[in-house]
Structure 1
Amino acid sequence: MSFASSDGNDLGIYIVVLPVTAFKDPAWDSIGDELWPIIAKSLNTSRLAHQGHVAPTGTRDSTLEILVRDNGCVNHCENGILYSFNATKYMFSWGNLSEKLRMARLDCTDEVIVDLFSGIGYFVLTFLVRAKAKLIYACEWNPHAVEALKYNLQANSVSDRCIVLEGDNRITAPKVCSRELPIESVLVSFLQVRIAGLLLLRALRIEGRMLHMHGNVKDSGEGLWTDHISKSISEIAISDGHCWEVTVEHVERVKWYAPHIHHLVADVKFRQIKK
């Protein structure tokens, strides 16, 4: 695996990342000072790193270790969008490219969007740069991701159309609801189905609004997952005084997250039922 760099050195254009399963024996560390530069030279790069497991924290920090040189800052260009981040502090989600391309094809010219889990701007930038969204509220609580997100908004010349809500979205997101904004869609980019945490459902008051909900689901459980989404959102709406017809219009199979587990995105629409 390699990440593009912005350091201007031809040999240093990439960080080559050794897989987490490589050189696991502690014996390699004892000769690392001599070994790692040799491996880097053989791979025609001046920056070498060792991939680590994603930290089991709420902020899902990177544990990537730089073996040669000490600069983990990288640039990655995808679909005409520049993503910059420090690979030692935050991971990059490679597998969601097809979903980002799908969102890029939407026409969001007059839409206000909320992304509850923005990261470094994976979907925020897609909606702003490619789908031409009017405004996005970007919620993120990892300080390293927030730093990269703000930089990426500037680098892609779209910072004037994004409001970054830094901190726990359980605190920051309700403030958006209280502003009575005409929010067209909510992007729920989290890896588990936690319907009770959909803090912005109240903002989706106008017919035709959309919720894009991500989840990891066993390949035999897709129907149960979509049924659970519809039922749970309907119950939340009723508890908030609304009577909605909730429809899962489409399920996108984005990638395999693990054997027999699909990463899915459900496109959910709401329609007010007239009493």
Structure 2
Amino acid sequence: MECLFAVVNAKRCQELRLELHNRQLLHPKLRSVKHCDEVGIPVKENATGDIDVQCLDDGSFVLNGIPFCIVQKKLYMPYPTVQRLMQVVEALMRSKGLWQENLVAEIPTSWEKYGDLLLFNSNKYFKNPAWCEAGPELWTNVCLVLNGNRVALKSHISPDGFRTPNVQLMWGESTWVDCVDNGIKYSWDVTKSMYSAGNASERHRVARFRCDGEVVVDMYAGIGYFTLPYLVHAGALLVHACEWNPDAVIALRKNLIQNDAGGRCIVHEGDNQKVQLCHIADRVNLGLLPSCEAGWQVACKFLKSSGGMLHIHGNIISGIHKTKIEAGLHNYDHETDKLALCMKCKCILLSAKPKKFLHESCKQSFGFDGVELFIEDSLISWKKVEWKVWALHVSHSICSILNGIHKVVWKVSVVHLHRIKSYAPHIDHLVLDLYCRPFVRCWKPHVL
């Protein structure tokens, strides 16, 4: 006797078991198997032929109002998740006469999951047209194995200035999802806004900042990736959140409300270059990739005249024949080698050991007698020389901007360099913490 499993939500397990028992459809020897929040009830091979069992268009079944799916025993037993997914998907495709051996490489081995929505990379998985021919039953089986209710496929980010994701909903209805990270609830539309789980380490680091009484400007707020940690955990007095993507602003406002943080945040919708704020911030967050250099001038304008902290993000390329300070992630031909302006800085950096560097080249470009930049090596892990060169270049540039704005000499201290993640063997997402203050004789670098 072949055995099948009727897979049902655990909350309705007893109801379905009773209905099956009354119709003598339960398998006489095997026990039920629990997997996540579902239960597989062993049934006889003729269970789906019962007059009261309705078969739906998506391949699932309903018995007296209770929805369930039928899976073969060998496919429902507790295999590792990826192996089980491969078994189920291959069996489905074979049953439809659609199986090709090259399809095995397109069965997912990784995915993102937000609530009950499963998000797969369509540049790697489910590329062959044969998957579309399988119809909705493919997605219901994927959901069954991975405990989801919705499936979406994502491709490259749109080059529209908003970093809009290319996401297509394949199964399910709503494209809004929820995620709780470090006690903060984020909600967003996966087809319109970005969320990077890989940035969690930086969100958690921001949450540990001591921002009591501080005014913060988040120049690229998005759905609130960093705005919310500043408000919920770091204790910021007020956050000015700048965002020009209308869809992200909708999610941002929703997230502020559901985290009870709306009263301490002012949302500036539109281009942050046009925000009418000046000398109000103790801290400015610049979380834009691949480079936030376009915002450096405005960020310096936002800082208080007494100084403050800048958190500058960037993608840094290293380990190849030429040091590149900025490069697009998908466009290696578009490079701006900013070292042309700071070549003397690089030479000093590579040859000198002291923690304090005096940049003679600043005299001409800054219009001042000299600018001192502090790099505290004891606090920073310089794993790659390109990281240190980039930190020096950014510090040099920020000094120039601040001196131009205030017409007095400023000092910039590299307080911390944090590697968030790697995109490829030669591309690292870094964030540089710079403490900026006007010159005073007893000035000391700031500690977070």
Please report the TM-score for the alignment, with normalisation by the length of structure 1: 0.89
Task: State whether residues 195 and 233 of structure 1, in contact with CA within 8 Å, keep that contact through their aligned partners in structure 2.
Answer: no
Question: Which of 126, 134, 158 is the matching residue for 2:237?
Answer: 134
**Bigger relative contact order, structure 1 or 2, given CA contacts below 8 A and separation 6+?**
1
Which residues in structure 2 correspond to 1:200-215 (within 5 Å)?
200-215=299-314
1:135-174 aligned within 5 A? 135-172=238-275
Match of 1:18 in 2: 120
Q: Is the 8 A contact 1:254 1:263 kept in 2?
A: yes
SS at match of 2:197: coil
Q: Distance in 2 between matches of 1:266 and 1:108?
A: 18
Asked if the contact 1:74/1:85 (under 8 Å) is kept, the reply is: yes
Tell me the matched-pair count. Answer: 262
Could you tell me which residue of structure 2 aligns to residue 81 of structure 1? Answer: 184
Q: What are the equivalent positions in structure 2 for 1:99-110 lying under 5 Å apart?
A: 99-110=202-213
The answer (yes or no) to whether the contact 1:195–1:232 under 8 Å persists in 2 is no
Residues 264, 24 of structure 1: alpha-carbon distance in 2 compared, 3 angstrom cutoff: same
Please give the per-residue CA displacement for 1:194-229, whole angstroms capped at 9, x wherever unaligned: 435320312324445100011111244112211111
Give the whole-Å Cα distance in 1 for the aligned partners of 2:391 and 2:112.
36
The 5 A counterparts of 1:120-269 are 120-172=223-275, 175-177=276-278, 180-181=279-280, 183-198=281-296, 199-219=298-318, 220=384, 221-240=386-405, 241-269=407-435
CA contact under 8 A between 2:216 and 2:236: conserved in structure 1? yes
Mapped to 1, the partners of 2:286 and 2:125 lie a distance apart of: 34
Letter in 2 for 1:230: S
Residues of 1 paired with 2:188 and 2:292: CA distance?
28
Please tell me whether the aligned partners of residues 292 and 312 of structure 2 are also in contact (alpha carbons under 8 angstroms). Answer: no
d(CA) in 2 for partners of 1:167, 1:136: 16
Which is further off, 39-48 or 93-102?
Answer: 39-48
Which of 93, 97, 111 does residue 214 from structure 2 map onto? 111
- The answer as to whether partners of 1:15 and 1:45 remain within 8 angstroms in 2 is yes
| 1:40/1:116 CA distance change after superposition, 3 Å | same
Question: Using a 3 Å threshold, how does the CA distance of structure 1 residues 270 and 100 change in structure 2: closer, same or farther?
Answer: same
Per-residue deviation at 1:44?
2.9
Contact 2:176 2:187 in 1 (8 A): yes
Q: How much does 1:93 deviate?
A: 1.2
The amino acid of 1:245's aligned partner reads K
Q: 1:196, 1:49 → 2: CA distance?
A: 33
The residue matched to 2:166 in structure 1 has which SS?
A: coil
Would the alpha carbon gap of residues 231 and 196 (structure 1) be closer, same or farther in structure 2, given more than 3 Å must change? Answer: farther
Aligned-partner Cα distance in 1 for 2:244–2:142:
37
| Conserved 8 A contact 2:292-2:314 | no
Deviation at 1:148, TM superposition (A): 0.3
Tell me, in whole angstroms, the C-alpha distance in 2 between the residues paired with 1:207 and 1:91.
35
Q: Secondary structure at the match of 2:227?
A: helix
SS in 1 for 2:419: strand
What is the TM-score of this pair, normalised by structure 2? 0.56
Q: 1:133 to 1:212 in 2, by over 3 A?
A: same
Q: Give the gaps of 5 or more residues in structure 2.
A: 1-110, 319-383, 442-448
Name the CA distance, whole Å, in 2 between partners of 1:192 and 1:253: 14
Aligned residue number for residue 8 of structure 1: none
Q: Does 1:62 align with 2:165?
A: yes
Contact 1:247 1:268 in 2 (8 A): yes
CA RMSD of aligned residues (A): 1.8
Shift of 1:158: 0.6
Structure 1 range deviating more: 76-85 or 186-195: 186-195
- Deviation string for 1:103-153 (max 9, x for gaps)? 111121100000100010010000000011000000001111100000000
User: C-alpha displacement at 1:271, in angstroms?
Assistant: 2.2
- Residues of 2 paired with 1:274 and 1:106: CA distance? 25
Could you tell me which amino acid in structure 2 is paired with residue 3 of structure 1?
K
Check the 8 A contact 2:282/2:304 in 1, yes or no: no
Residue pair 1:3, 1:74 contacting (<8 A) in 2 also: no
Larger Rg: 2
What SS does the aligned partner of 1:122 have?
coil
SS in 2 for 1:235: helix
